[in-house]
A and B are shown apart, each in its own frame.
Chain A
Amino acid sequence: MIDLSEKTAVITGAAQGIGLAITEKLAMNNAAVIIVDINKKLIDQRVEMLTSRGLNAAGYQADVTKSDQIEDIFKEISSTRGNIDILINNAGITRDGLLMKMKEEDWDLVLAINLKGTFICTQKVSRYMLKQRSGVIINIASVVGIMGNAGQANYAASKGGIIALTKSTAREFASRNIRVNAVAPGFIETEMTSILSEEVIKKYAEAIPLKRMGKPEDVADLCLFLASDLAKYITGQTIQVDGGLIM
């Protein structure tokens, strides 16, 4: 049995989709969860929904690319709750397009939110985790960061970057008992993939050995495991949750 009571978990981009599923999963296993997202309206709804089920949840509005906002949030969480035990860097976006026609601003924005945002949140939480001499950081990458994808040069670069960042961070923090891993989802049913046509989705599903798209909960189950002591000897890894899409 996994029991995360006494643990505080911060999840970025958790107002919907995969981040929300991770938040619910950790909360149902007794963690105190804190949603950090840019979407204020949704945060309030989600916190309300979670607390009405008797779960320990709170939320902050922030943009992961703004280091001062992130710094303030961690300072407040640390002073009100003591430890910050788990950070899930999940906030991410896509701005797809063929490389030849990709606008620089679409490149910059995807790299800023997905990669730099992960760096900023990791840097700002590190002073607390280093001091505690414990912590778990999980970065949400993507199989696209491993295999590449036509039309997603910016997104693939950001996710490949997250995988390399994960390994470097794992090495730097290992002596302080802080584990850092990446999770690489395949095709998961969320808003992010809802823009794809039914035809495209069908085609993708056929290419997946387990013959279906993943659900946010599939990703959340892996995160729960990695956040728990069951994964105490695992660091610096990128673990795929993709129905066997790439092997």
Chain B
Amino acid sequence: MKIGIIGAGKLGTVLGQLAQKAGYQVLISGSGAPSKIELIISVLLPQAKALTTAAVAQQANLIILALPLHQYQTLQPADFAGKIVIDATNYWEPTDGPATELLLPGISSSEMIQQQLKDSQVIKALNHIGYHDLADQALPAGSDNRKAVALAGDHVAAKQQVAEIVNDFGFDPVDIGQLAAGSLLEPGSPVFGASVAREQLQQLIQDYAALKKIDNSKNA
């Protein structure tokens, strides 16, 4: 299976390493021509293929977004049509600019991406743990004190597949509900920047959902 990664920065290269280690083939792109990231990829992800973003999206079976959020409108819906897209991005004012100019009121940033990629199944995941913790804390399934990664999305089968990938990457997947519940994973959340084990993650999310009055019931 081919995993495509859009963004070859801190997060994209670490996710690429986790994917390679788990035996996936990795296709990756940056903001420009593949030649711009070839050197980086040749050292940090030697078995991956550097392509344009369009080619990554078209050729991969599943795509992970690891680019700055404010770039989301450059993603062409047709390239991603019919595919599962893992949204690992976050709104981050210093890089993304004022919230009012980017975010849409009342919805999570992942729902905004879903509106852009309307023919894809967007699942929010892998966004709430720092990239170095993703690199340092990945552990085989069943390990003591394995850390958990939350995921949110509207498509049950797609979530199932993303859960498998999260597991293959070295983390316990925790389904926290619909894509709207993705707002529970955004900056300011008690799980944002926290690498904790499954029970603790579930507890933190539950308490935070109650506090924010956000529905985190699982879709059947």
A associates with B: no
Residues of A within 8 A of B (CB): none
Residues of B within 8 A of A (CB): none
